[in-house]
Structure 1
Amino acid sequence: MRAARRPAVRLPPLVPFGGTLEPDGDYDGLEFREVDLAGQDGAGARFLDCALTGCALDGTALPHARLLDSVLTGIRGVGTGLAEATLRDVELVDARLGGTQLHGAVLERVLVRGGKFDCPNLRGARLRDVVFEGCVLVEPDFAGARLERVEFVDCTVKGADFGGAALSDVDLRRVAVLDIARGVDQLAGAVISPVQLMDLAPRLAAELGLRVMD
């Protein structure tokens, strides 16, 4: 197993953000603290060396946005749009997000620590060197995604969909609760514990069309 490389974000002195997001905006070295960004359009925007703390992102449109060398803490929102966005060297801490659209996104050297994520859509996304630590993932959709060097540590994963996903060096051994609704047969390239194997055995048998009889 190749371990995931974690981000090492070192923010410079930041300038408070004032105003609203703009499509293709360029945000460098800014602090977004308790800012209500709900419903704003930041499509294609670039965030470099930024800190977003306690911000509301309900319905915020950020498709094709780039978040680089940034820390997001305590953000919250429903329906945040990050389709085909790029997150590189990002720390996401204690977020509460529902229905986040990350399909086709690229996540590289991302640490997701704490928080709860309901129905995140990561279909067709590319995840490399990503760590999910101490968070709750409810019905995460990884269908068709590519996961390389991804670790799940002390997480609760409920109703995950790995249908059509491609996994390489994905470590599931330290998941606190692991429930896979679809795509158990796509777990080649992942590592699980013996206990998890026993828990997944009925679903594996069903996926393979095996009947288990005395």
Structure 2
Amino acid sequence: MTNTMKIQQAKIPKSLRTAVLDEEITDDLYVEQCLISNCTIDEKDIHRLRFDQVVFQNVTFIDVSFKSIECTDVIFDKCDLSNVQFRGAVLHRVEMKNCKLLGINLSEATLRNVVFKGCYLNLSSFGYSDLKQTSFTDSSLSNADFYEVKLNKVEFIDCNLNEANFGGSSLKGIDLSKNQFEQLTVSREDLEGCIVSSDQAIGFSRLMGLIIKE
């Protein structure tokens, strides 16, 4: 992992048993220490499901709602979680690598030591979430919603942030200089302390009502 800040990696045992999700879900809604791979999980609506030391590999989620899901030491590798409902999720030491997350709902979620790398997160929702020690790298976040989000030690590196919404979210200490966007939704007050490139600064100056003379 090549993050500039220290993020705890998922703690996964060297050997994991292969499992099928339907067979793992018991009355306590707790799934642990297994590999779930090369399958489709569809039409599931389970509240407060917990995953601990689980790897999902090449898994497609269709019409899935896991509201208030808890994931600790979990890896999603080359998975499709488009439009999955993870509202109110608690994610700790979670890695999402090369995943399709179009329209995923992570609103009102708590993220700690979470990595999104090489992911497609267009139209994703993080509204009212609390993100700390979280990294977005080489990912597309076009039209992503970060409305009223707490951002603490969060990094964006080589991401497409075009038309992302950061309304009501303080960007103090957030470095946007290594990302691409033509337009962001953000207030003047929330830009205070944000780190941007010189070209980006010109765009933001127009937001502040300045007239730039060539």
Q: Distance in 2 between matches of 1:79 and 1:64?
A: 15
Show CA shifts across 1:149-192 (max 9, x none).
111111111111011113343221211x1244311422224211
Q: CA deviation at 1:22?
A: 6.5
Aligned to 2:41: 37
Aligned to 1:178: 181
- Residues 1:121 and 1:22: Cα distance change in structure 2 (over 3 Å): farther
1:52 to 50, 56, 65: 56
Q: Would you say the 8 A contact 2:109–2:128 is kept in 1?
A: yes
Normalising by structure 1, report the TM-score.
Answer: 0.88
Alignment of 1:114 with 2:136, yes or no, is: no
Q: Distance in 1 between matches of 2:124 and 2:149?
A: 13
Q: CA deviation at 1:55?
A: 0.9
Q: Would you say the 8 A contact 2:141–2:162 is kept in 1?
A: yes
Q: CA deviation at 1:24?
A: 5.5
Shifted more, 142-151 versus 4-13: the winner is 4-13
Q: CA deviation at 1:38?
A: 2.0
Greater than 3 Å deviation, 4+ residue runs = 21-24
Aligned to 1:6: 7
Q: Would you say the 8 A contact 1:114–1:135 is kept in 2?
A: yes
Q: CA deviation at 1:19?
A: 4.2
1:132 to 136, 143, 149: 136
Q: Distance in 1 between matches of 2:75 and 2:59?
A: 12
For the aligned residue pairs, the C-alpha RMSD in angstroms reads: 2.0
Alignment of 1:142 with 2:143, yes or no, is: no
Q: CA deviation at 1:114?
A: 0.2
Q: CA deviation at 1:104?
A: 0.3
Normalising by structure 2, report the TM-score.
Answer: 0.88
**Residue aligned with 1:55, SS:** strand
Q: Distance in 2 between matches of 1:30 and 1:7?
A: 20
Alignment of 1:89 with 2:93, yes or no, is: yes
In the alignment, structure 1 segments of 5+ residues that lack a partner are none
Specify which structure has the bigger relative contact order, considering alpha-carbon pairs within 8 angstroms and separated by 6 or more residues: 1
Overall identity of the aligned pairs, in %: 20
In the alignment, structure 2 segments of 5+ residues that lack a partner are none
Q: Would you say the 8 A contact 1:68–1:90 is kept in 2?
A: yes
Aligned to 2:17: 15
- Residues 1:174 and 1:64: Cα distance change in structure 2 (over 3 Å): same
Q: Distance in 2 between matches of 1:110 and 1:213?
A: 39
Q: When you count strand as a share of all residues, which structure comes out higher?
A: 1
Q: CA deviation at 1:200?
A: 2.7
Query: How many residues are aligned here?
Result: 206
Q: Would you say the 8 A contact 1:17–1:31 is kept in 2?
A: yes
**Residue aligned with 2:59, SS:** coil
Counterpart of 1:33, as a letter, is S
1:76 to 80, 103, 109: 80
Shifted more, 130-139 versus 10-19: the winner is 10-19
- Residues 1:6 and 1:23: Cα distance change in structure 2 (over 3 Å): farther
Q: Would you say the 8 A contact 2:73–2:93 is kept in 1?
A: yes
